[in-house]
Amino acid sequence: MIWCSASQGVPVSTSEPRNTKSPRLDFLEIQPLPTDKDPVPDKPVTAEKRETAESMAVRQRDISISEFFSKNRHLLGFDNPRKALLTTVKEAVDNSLDACEEAGILPTLKVEIHQLEEERFRVCIEDNGPGIVKAQIPRIFGRLLYGSKFHTLKQARGQQGIGISAAGMYGLLTTGKSIAVTSRTGSGKPAHYYEIQIDTRKNRPQVITDKVVDWEHSHGTRVEIELIGTYKKGRHSVDDYIRQTAIANPHCEILFSVPGCDTPLHLQRASTTLPPEPRSIKPHPYGVELGVLIRMMKESSTRQLSAFLQRDFSRVSSRVAQEICREASLKPTANPRSIAANEVERLFKAINTVKIMNPATNCLSPIHEEQILAGLKKEIEAEFYTAITRSPAVYRGNPFQIEVGLAYGGSLPADELVDLMRFANRVPLQYQQSACAITKAVLGIDWRSYGLSQSKGALPIGPIMLFVHMASAWVPFTSESKEAVAAYPEIMRELRLALQECGRKLATHIRAHRRAAEEAKKKSYIEKYIPHIGIALREILGFSEKSENDLVGTLKDVLERSRSK
């Protein structure tokens, strides 16, 4: 077998052993190699020539991002009618909450789902946010990859500027109807009403209607989308999403009307305090890559390397900048735009050898232990609750923070897989559970050591509701539909530590609970016999009834004291 072991030649990491089930390679017979002169046969070996470089070139062309996503709509969460309805509501609600919070407004949302035909719905989401400037309305709702959050490093629900225009595009594709937007930026301003269709060939908005309307609200935005969908209750439902959103966003008020229900559901604010507004930060030097560093230096407005490092990165003081330059053997006064390629590489290596403070974490806004506990306690009748908010950590230069809540026992079913609620930047994640770093972290823990049962490769079984939240300036989702978090090692580590901490607390509770139960059982046995001892002693020693009662009382006292230690 020619497959070489790693021990020959250059050292190669082989820490992961070859899977024992890996089939053999030796069936692939070893043949004398073609000579170096002609390793590639000179001409087509078989078959009629079907295509040439020229005939292929004719068909090679640009693909617009909207064409791409309209064909790959499952990437955005429009795989099926049921998910499409949920995704549409979700994208609009996420945007509304982000806008309200950015403007310092306590969010009040109206979410309406009107059923037009069996599979045809009109979704309306209205907020009391700051509204949208007229010129931006068509771009925001009629163009994929357009937005304000992509180039900013801070915690937000939206990231990429795709979601709501994709929902509008899906509506257009399935029903031919425009997305309708009403928006007003203040009481002195007019309310604008737009009907917009995305031109998928160009990824540009086509404005169908543009007029000023009367609107009873002084500021806010209302989005209406008609689409093919399915409305169902249960797991992965819009109802579930709205309920979980209310749990993770206690400062938010939601009026929610669904088909088949006359009165809208009114989810009250549980808190009138807005979460502290996360601040946007500059990239951290540890997260930067060589290629990005080269581009940043080319594009920098600074004239000196030291100033570049201090101004374009976070956590680089004058002292740190000097140290980096010294390590890289570069002058702090050098012009960043005229540094040679090999010098940039030295700079890059130097950055990673100098100790730099962790990124600022005021770009994060975690939910916090008390709020998680409050949410769980309101939610679930259990006998034991615990919650952990880990300190912020960093992956690829991005700060993030993991929080875990756990409810155990009580009304939760004891013989089912644990119920896992996943959140990212306060947004409930509904689909792709198995692909998510959160799920992988839960699966990777040996829950049997915390007193639960668990089969190989499966979630543990027990009366447990797990709440896991990742807050980050940039959540690395596994797809644009933002349903699962990618498993970066740093994230997995924090998840594991948080879950283990909750697990240990749970184990202590389960053990104590078991001991207490056994204790109580023993006690009840002994208690049962005390009156009989009283009776026997009275008969043998001729005690009065009072002495007997005293004795029984004393014995019970002693039992109480000795057994409750």
Residues 89-108 that bind a copy of itself (CB under 8 A): 99, 102-106, 108
Angle (CA) 216-172-162 rounded to 5° is 80
11 lines the binding site for a copy of itself (CB under 8 A) = yes
Spatial distance between the Cα atoms of 468 and 402, rounded to a whole number of angstroms:
7
CB of 494 to a copy of itself, least distance (A): 16
Encoded amino acid at 396, one letter? R
Dump the DSSP string for 381-421.
Answer: --SEEEEEEPPPEEETTEEEEEEEEEEESTTS-TTSBPEEE
CB of 547 to a copy of itself, least distance (A): 54
Place of tokens 């795989």: 79
Q: Which residue number, 71 or 504, has a Cβ lying nearer to a copy of itself? A: 71
Q: Which residue number, 417 or 555, has a Cβ lying nearer to a copy of itself? A: 417
Strand-strand pairing, 253-257 and 108-117: parallel
302 lines the binding site for a copy of itself (CB under 8 A) = no
Which structure tokens are listed for 451? 């007193």
2 lines the binding site for a copy of itself (CB under 8 A) = yes
Q: Which residue, among 307, 390, 401, 323, has the nearest Cα to 359 in the 3D structure?
A: 401
Kindly give the interhelix angle for 318-327 and 341-351, rounded to the nearest 10 degrees: 120
**Do the beta carbons of residue 366 and residue 378 sit within 8 Å?**
no
End-to-end CA distance of the chain: 69
Q: Which residue number, 249 or 534, has a Cβ lying nearer to a copy of itself? A: 249
Spatial distance between the Cα atoms of 65 and 68, rounded to a whole number of angstroms:
5
214 lines the binding site for a copy of itself (CB under 8 A) = no
362 lines the binding site for a copy of itself (CB under 8 A) = no
Q: Which residue number, 413 or 553, has a Cβ lying nearer to a copy of itself? A: 413
Q: Which residue number, 450 or 477, has a Cβ lying nearer to a copy of itself? A: 477
Q: Which residues contact 183 (CB under 8 A, 6 or more apart)?
A: 131, 132, 134, 137, 191, 192, 194, 220, 221, 222
Q: Which residue number, 334 or 487, has a Cβ lying nearer to a copy of itself? A: 487
Number of residues forming the site for a copy of itself (CB under 8 A): 174
CB of 130 to a copy of itself, least distance (A): 5
Q: Which residue number, 132 or 309, has a Cβ lying nearer to a copy of itself? A: 132
Q: Binders of a copy of itself among 62-91, rule CB under 8 A?
A: 62-65, 67-68, 70-72, 74-75, 79-80
Place of tokens 């639960």: 452
**Do the beta carbons of residue 406 and residue 502 sit within 8 Å?**
yes
Listed ranges 84-92, 170-178, 307-315, 329-337: which one lies at the site for a copy of itself (CB under 8 A): 170-178
Q: Binders of a copy of itself among 244-263, rule CB under 8 A?
A: 246, 255, 258-263
**Sole binder of a copy of itself in the list 141, 193, 231, 385 (CB under 8 A):** 231
Spatial distance between the Cα atoms of 384 and 373, rounded to a whole number of angstroms:
10
CB of 337 to a copy of itself, least distance (A): 15
**Sole binder of a copy of itself in the list 290, 510, 530, 551 (CB under 8 A):** 290
Listed ranges 56-64, 364-372, 500-508, 548-556: which one lies at the site for a copy of itself (CB under 8 A): 56-64
178 lines the binding site for a copy of itself (CB under 8 A) = no
Encoded amino acid at 466, one letter? L
Dump the DSSP string for 365-384.
Answer: ----HHHHHHHHHHH---SE
369 lines the binding site for a copy of itself (CB under 8 A) = no
Q: Which residue number, 106 or 507, has a Cβ lying nearer to a copy of itself? A: 106
**Sole binder of a copy of itself in the list 245, 314, 425, 432 (CB under 8 A):** 432
Spatial distance between the Cα atoms of 140 and 245, rounded to a whole number of angstroms:
23
**CA distances for 354 relative to 296, 316, 392, 516, angstroms:** 19, 10, 21, 54
110 lines the binding site for a copy of itself (CB under 8 A) = yes
Reduce the DSSP state of residue 120 to 3 states and report it.
Answer: strand
**Sole binder of a copy of itself in the list 206, 243, 493, 526 (CB under 8 A):** 243
160 lines the binding site for a copy of itself (CB under 8 A) = yes
294 lines the binding site for a copy of itself (CB under 8 A) = yes
135 lines the binding site for a copy of itself (CB under 8 A) = yes
CB of 513 to a copy of itself, least distance (A): 21
**Sole binder of a copy of itself in the list 56, 340, 414, 540 (CB under 8 A):** 56
314 lines the binding site for a copy of itself (CB under 8 A) = no
Q: Taking the CA of residue 267 as centre, how many other CA atoms within 13 Å lie in the half-sphere pointing to its CB? A: 24
Q: Binders of a copy of itself among 389-418, rule CB under 8 A?
A: 412-413, 416-417
Phi, psi of 169 (to 5 degrees): -65, -40
Q: Which residue number, 198 or 334, has a Cβ lying nearer to a copy of itself? A: 198
- CB count, 10 Å around CB of 96? 28
Q: Binders of a copy of itself among 523-562, rule CB under 8 A?
A: none
**Sole binder of a copy of itself in the list 304, 474, 492, 495 (CB under 8 A):** 474
Spatial distance between the Cα atoms of 481 and 236, rounded to a whole number of angstroms:
14
CB of 304 to a copy of itself, least distance (A): 22
**Sole binder of a copy of itself in the list 61, 355, 521, 565 (CB under 8 A):** 61
> Long-range contacts for 186-189 (Cβ within 8 Å, ≥24 apart)?
186/131, 186/218, 186/219, 187/218, 187/219, 189/131
Q: Binders of a copy of itself among 24-53, rule CB under 8 A?
A: 24-25, 27-31, 33-34, 37-53
Kindly give the interhelix angle for 290-299 and 305-312, rounded to the nearest 10 degrees: 110
Reduce the DSSP state of residue 328 to 3 states and report it.
Answer: coil
Q: Which residue number, 58 or 540, has a Cβ lying nearer to a copy of itself? A: 58
**Sole binder of a copy of itself in the list 142, 158, 163, 220 (CB under 8 A):** 220
Q: Which residue number, 136 or 449, has a Cβ lying nearer to a copy of itself? A: 136
